[in-house]
């Protein structure tokens, strides 16, 4: 097991290198970020000096190597715009993002798992079709449109929930206040997770229900409730773990747009600002982080797999 | 008409939702294609007073500078469907080719192709799309290319997996034993047998591409105004006065996206069942 984890970690290194290399190439095509700053009050000469300070006058591969060297020594560089260190910037914004995505994942799975199992147990009945219909609906609605609808109903019409931010400005942000701000953005993300996964879990459970060992369990006459609870659910754990592992990168990306709409002060907000302002060190930092998150999610899936399924040995 | 196609058609038509979806989808596509015949107005030029609520002359009212909203949505559908279709075409062709090569030849080619696939899959798609969209000049061509180059790894993996299992079947083994050329085995024997799953996957990519284009245009990094797209029409709805007082400016575009995507998903689901070799005939 330990050997397997080490092997996976080693395999992650070339993937991360690949990710950063692709980022660097895309940005090199885009050109010099300082070109955007040229204007009546900023001369070419002063920008040339800036470029020299930032190392932008060097050839691309040298820039990449020096960036890589920095990263290995634990320094992600400094933002071109705010001059804050990228690590610090990410550090202060990752909390809200984790809170948002974590809540959404929990909420989404709490909806998807029971509904998926229910749907599979009652397969080809009317309620099964209704649930499948709903799950298609949930995965077909654009997140930003759902956000607008929620804001329209809950903020504008009913005046129940705040439409943006993480807590009411001026207050310190009590738990209940943050929770109220969290409801709509996490719901938007949870709906898409649930929509995609109800069908996935349903078909996974359906496959299990057709297995011989379940036929044996039924033949023993222990009753449908016990068959499902004891024999089917245990085995349904595997697809559920897979789903959670797959959802993490999707969530990480999906939160960018949702954070933008609800002005949630997380990574998505600084990412968007960095992208619009061509703040390359920040973009590189976030891309690297997202790569790490995805690879960690994959590794975690593998480990949980081994824990849940005694037949898997690494 | 050959037999297997008739069987596919019969199995597909058993899905009532998919049949309704297909009708709605074809109607919407027809409306988008024949837009200039349906509406007398221009999508980019004003045609009446501004901010008119819906009436018999302007079915969905007019926007802030007096453009007919119904017309704009028709033309927006054209743009969104085209982006979705072309992006799907690119990513499917790319994915099928790489998947076939990777699965059939194995060895170093397989390792390299799957390595690239892993890298692209390790990106949150939206992040990659956003970075690329911000850096290249936004517009129809770049959006198609960006979405096309992001969605292929799924197809590649699917095809590779299929090829690997097909290689173990007797008819391919007998081809190899008979000394058939690799090109023939790959494109005339293996590829036709992967078409079903690829088509199903492609409908999924089509739906996702339409959603991605809408999201990108919504935040202003996709199709640029005045060219209408279903996403950038919704862009104005973030202002409170539009959101509360002028639902005709944002509700219809959102509903159209939803309709397109859900219909495509239902059709894809029925196709999956129709192609399923374990399904009931």
Residues of chain B numbered 76-105 and touching chain A (CB < 8 Å)? none
A140·B123 Cβ contact <8 A: no
Kindly report the nearest CA distance between residue A119 and chain B, in angstroms.
Answer: 16
Confidence tier at A165 by pLDDT (50, 70, 90)? confident
State which residue of chain A sits closest to B256, comparing Cα positions: A141
Is residue A30's pLDDT more than 70?
Answer: no
Residue B264 placed within a domain: yes
pLDDT at A34: 64
Contacts 24+ apart (CB under 8 A), A120-128: A120/A201, A120/A202, A120/A203, A120/A205, A120/A206, A120/A209, A121/A205, A121/A209, A121/A224, A121/A228, A123/A202, A123/A206, A123/A209, A128/A202
Residue B29 placed within a domain: no
pLDDT at A127: 92
Is residue B213's pLDDT more than 60?
Answer: yes
pLDDT at B247: 83
Residue B69 placed within a domain: no
If you count residue pairs, one on A and one on B, with CB atoms under 8 Å apart, how many are there? 116
Torsion-angle region of residue A247: left (phi > 0), alpha (psi -120 to 50) or beta? Answer: alpha
Half-sphere exposure of B131 (CA within 13 A, CB side): 28
Mean pLDDT (whole number) for A199-227: 84
3-class secondary structure, A40: coil
pLDDT at B38: 87
Q: In chain A, pLDDT over 90 holds for what percent of residues?
A: 21
Which residue among B121, B134, B243 places its CB closest to the CB of A152? B243
For residues A105 and A97, the answer to whether their CB atoms sit within 8 Å is no
Is residue B204's pLDDT more than 80?
Answer: yes
pLDDT at A140: 93
A139·B237 Cβ contact <8 A: no
pLDDT at A119: 92
CA dihedral A256, A260, A262, A266 (to 10 degrees): 60
Q: Who wins on pLDDT, A240 or A36?
A: A240
Mean pLDDT (whole number) for A207-223: 83
Q: Is A214 on the interface with B (CB under 8 A)?
A: no
Mean pLDDT (whole number) for A240-247: 82
pLDDT at B87: 95
Here the CATH number for the domain that contains residue B192 is: 1.10.3720.10
Is residue B123's pLDDT more than 80?
Answer: no
Confidence tier at A283 by pLDDT (50, 70, 90)? confident
pLDDT at A35: 63
Q: Is A22 on the interface with B (CB under 8 A)?
A: yes
Q: Best of A119, A145, A153, A262 to disrupt the B interface by mutation (most B CBs within 10 Å)?
A: A145
Q: Is A144 on the interface with B (CB under 8 A)?
A: yes
Residue B200 placed within a domain: yes
Most confident of A5-9, A51-55, B32-36, B220-224: B32-36
Please report residues of A whose CB lies closer than 8 A to that of B127: 252-253, 256, 271, 286-287, 290
Please report residues of B whose CB lies closer than 8 A to that of A19: 119, 122-123
Rounded Cα–Cα distance for residues A238 and B14 (Å) = 32
Kindly report the nearest CA distance between residue A284 and chain B, in angstroms.
Answer: 10
pLDDT at B125: 73
Rounded Cα–Cα distance for residues A129 and A2 (Å) = 45
Q: In chain B, pLDDT over 90 holds for what percent of residues?
A: 29
The answer as to CATH 3.30.200.20 being correct for domain A92-276 is no
- Sequence-distant (≥ 6) Cβ neighbours of residue B194 within 8 angstroms: B96, B99, B100, B158, B159, B162, B163, B166
A143·B215 Cβ contact <8 A: yes
Confidence tier at B21 by pLDDT (50, 70, 90)? very high
What is the tens place of the pLDDT at every residue in B68-115?
889 999 999 999 999 999 999 999 999 999 999 898 888 898 989 988
Helix axes A143-150, A175-209, angle to 10 degrees: 130
For residues B59 and B71, the answer to whether their CB atoms sit within 8 Å is no
- Joined together, the tokens standing for residue B170 give 């007797």
Q: Comparing A39-53, A157-171, A292-306, which segment has the lowest mean pLDDT?
A: A39-53
Mean of pLDDT over chain A = 83
Residue B88 placed within a domain: yes
Q: Best of A12, A135, A142 to disrupt the B interface by mutation (most B CBs within 10 Å)?
A: A142
CA angle, residues A59, A62, A67, in degrees to nearest 5: 125
**CA distances (Å), origin B273, targets A9, B7, B270:** 39, 12, 5
Domain-wise residue ranges, chain A: 92-276
What is the tens place of the pLDDT at every residue in B252-280?
999 999 999 999 999 998 988 888 766 55
Mean pLDDT (whole number) for A105-115: 92
Most confident of A80-94, A141-155, A291-305: A141-155
pLDDT at B280: 53
Q: Is B276 on the interface with A (CB under 8 A)?
A: no
Is residue B1's pLDDT more than 60?
Answer: no
Q: Who wins on pLDDT, A145 or B225?
A: A145
pLDDT at A304: 83
Residues of chain A numbered 254-313 and touching chain B (CB < 8 Å)? 254, 256-257, 260-261, 271-272, 275-276, 278, 283, 286-287, 290-291, 294-295
Residue B145 placed within a domain: yes
Number of structural domains in chain B: 1
State which residue of chain B sits closest to A196, comparing Cα positions: B265
What is the tens place of the pLDDT at every residue in B137-177?
777 888 898 889 888 988 999 999 888 888 888 888 888 88
A286·B17 Cβ contact <8 A: no
Q: In chain A, pLDDT over 70 holds for what percent of residues?
A: 90
Please report residues of B whose CB lies closer than 8 A to that of A151: 243
Q: Is A13 on the interface with B (CB under 8 A)?
A: no
Is residue B127's pLDDT more than 90?
Answer: no
Q: Best of B24, B117, B119, B200 to disrupt the A interface by mutation (most A CBs within 10 Å)?
A: B119
pLDDT at A32: 64
Q: Who wins on pLDDT, B24 or A212?
A: B24
**CA distances (Å), origin A94, targets A133, A245, B194:** 35, 19, 42
The ipTM (two decimal places) reads 0.87
pLDDT at B281: 45
pLDDT at B210: 94
pLDDT at B96: 92
Residue B15 placed within a domain: yes
Per DSSP, what are the bridge partners of residue B49? none
Please report residues of A whose CB lies closer than 8 A to that of B219: 144, 257, 260, 272
pLDDT at A313: 66
Confidence tier at B25 by pLDDT (50, 70, 90)? very high
For residues B13 and B274, the answer to whether their CB atoms sit within 8 Å is no
pLDDT at A69: 81
């Amino acid at each position: 097991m330990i050997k397997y984890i080490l092997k996976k970690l080693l395999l992650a290194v070339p993937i991360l290198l690949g990710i950063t290399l692709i980022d660097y190439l895309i940005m090199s095509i885009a050109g010099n970020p300082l070109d955007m700053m040229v204007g009546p009050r900023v001369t070419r000469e002063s920008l040339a000096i800036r470029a020299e300070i930032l190392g932008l006058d060097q050839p691309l591969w040298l820039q990449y190597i020096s960036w890589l060297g920095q990263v290995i020594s634990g320094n992600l560089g400094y933002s071109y715009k705010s001059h804050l260190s990228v690590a610090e910037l990410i550090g202060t914004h990752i909390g809200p993002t984790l809170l948002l995505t974590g809540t959404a994942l929990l909420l989404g799975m709490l909806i998807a798992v029971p509904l998926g199992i229910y749907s599979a147990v009652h397969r080809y009945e009317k309620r099964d079709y209704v649930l499948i219909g709903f799950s298609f609906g949930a995965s077909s609605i654009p997140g930003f449109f759902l956000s607008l609808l929620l804001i329209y109903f809950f903020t504008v019409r009913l005046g129940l929930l705040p439409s943006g931010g993480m807590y009411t400005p001026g207050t310190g942000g009590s738990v209940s206040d943050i929770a109220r701000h969290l409801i709509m953005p996490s719901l938007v993300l949870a709906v898409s997770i649930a929509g995609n996964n109800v069908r996935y879990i349903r078909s996974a459970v359906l496959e299990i229900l057709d297995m011989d060992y379940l036929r044996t369990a039924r033949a023993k006459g222990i009753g449908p409730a016990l068959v499902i609870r004891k024999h089917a659910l245990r085995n349904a754990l595997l697809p559920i773990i897979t789903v959670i592992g797959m959802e993490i990168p999707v969530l990480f990306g999906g939160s960018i747009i949702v954070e933008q709409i609800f002005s949630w002060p997380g990574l998505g907000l600084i990412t968007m600002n960095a992208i619009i302002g061509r703040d390359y060190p920040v973009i590189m930092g976030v891309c690297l982080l997202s790569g790490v998150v995805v690879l960690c999610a994959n590794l975690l899936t593998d480990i949980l797999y081994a824990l849940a399924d005694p037949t898997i040995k690494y | 008409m050959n037999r297997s196609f008739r069987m596919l058609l019969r199995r597909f038509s058993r899905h009532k939702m998919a049949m309704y979806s297909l009708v709605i989808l074809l109607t919407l596509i027809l409306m988008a294609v024949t837009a200039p015949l349906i509406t007398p107005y221009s999508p980019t030029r004003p045609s009446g007073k501004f901010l008119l609520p819906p009436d018999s002359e302007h079915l969905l009212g007019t926007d802030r500078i007096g453009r007919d909203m119904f017309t704009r949505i028709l033309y927006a559908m054209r743009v969104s469907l085209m982006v979705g279709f072309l992006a799907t075409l690119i990513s499917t062709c790319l994915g099928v080719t790489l998947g076939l090569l990777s699965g059939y030849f194995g060895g170093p080619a397989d390792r390299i192709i799957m390595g690239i696939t892993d890298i692209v899959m390790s990106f949150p798609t939206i992040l990659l799309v956003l970075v690329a969209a911000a850096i290249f000049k936004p517009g129809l061509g770049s959006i198609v290319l960006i979405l096309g180059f992001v969605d292929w790894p799924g197809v590649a993996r699917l095809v590779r997996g299929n090829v690997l299992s097909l290689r173990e079947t007797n008819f391919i083994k007998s081809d190899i034993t008979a000394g058939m050329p690799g090109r023939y085995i790959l494109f005339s024997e293996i590829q036709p047998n992967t078409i079903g799953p690829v088509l199903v996957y492609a409908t999924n990519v089509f739906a996702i591409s339409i959603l991605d284009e809408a999201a990108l245009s919504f935040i202003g990094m996709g199709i640029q105004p005045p060219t209408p797209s279903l996403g950038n029409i919704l862009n104005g709805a973030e202002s409170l006065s539009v959101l509360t007082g002028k639902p005709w400016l944002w509700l219809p575009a959102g509903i159209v996206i939803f309709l397109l995507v859900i219909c495509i998903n239902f059709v894809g689901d029925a196709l999956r069942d129709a192609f399923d070799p374990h399904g009931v005939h």
